Amino acid sequence: MTQGWSVREDHDRADAERRRELVTAARAAFEELGYGATTIAEITRRAGVSRATFYVYFASKEQVFAVLAEQVRDRFVRAQALTGVDRDDVEDVLRRTIATTLEATVENLALMTVLNHQAVGDEEIRDLWLEIQREAVHRTAAYVSQQARAGHVEPVADPEALGMMGAGMNDRYAPLVVSGAITTEAAIEEMHRIWMACLGR
């Protein structure tokens, strides 16, 4: 019986690894070629597997793209989930959140560009992409509202608007970081300075 479980676990690990290989290959193809030009044949070629193997794990190109979009969503959730931080230390919380969300944006910039394009004509992807963006803004706004109620900050605008401003700065600074036009550290400092001014600090 123990041997049976061992064989099953080996099979499950191999399954998980093959799925990861397909997702990695799909991401590379989408980022390089865009959504429209990426085919299942291209994904399987990059992964070194057959078309039949692809269909063991995914029903369509759309499904594997949705998995990638969900990975982006999860990455941004993790970026805002700080641990070991005094939540009332507004300057530290915002500096670290700016750093982690900028890092997440830089990591996913190419895929986010494809997501933006695909969201124009694909309702499911548009809904998922809007969910990703709304969640990030809402979490920031909730924190600003909490700190305002505690008397730690004096926001110059509605917290949701400030959350959208923060997301917009990430979107603007990430390409500059990727291109080398600005360092990550300088981008974080500039965004932090703007945030502090907007919070009356």
Q: Between vectors from CA 127 to CA 125 and to CA 131, what angle results, nearest 5°? A: 115
Give exposure, 169-198, as e/b (b: 16+ Cβ within 10 Å): bbeebbeebeeeebeeeebbeebbeebeeb
pLDDT less than 50: residues of the chain: 1-2, 5-11
Q: What is the pLDDT of residue 97?
A: 92
Q: What is the pLDDT of residue 4?
A: 53
Q: How far apart are CA 31 and CA 161, in angstroms?
A: 30
The model's pLDDT over 101-141, given as tens digits with 9 standing for 90+, comes to 999 999 999 999 999 898 888 888 888 888 888 888 998 99
- What is the DSSP-derived secondary structure letter of residue 104? H
Q: Is 48 helix (H, G, I), strand (E, B) or coil?
A: coil
Phi, psi of 174 (to 5 degrees): -55, -45
Tokens representing 82 are: 């700080």
In this structure, are residues 79 and 100 in contact, taking their beta carbons and an 8 Å threshold?
yes
Q: What is the pLDDT of residue 3?
A: 55
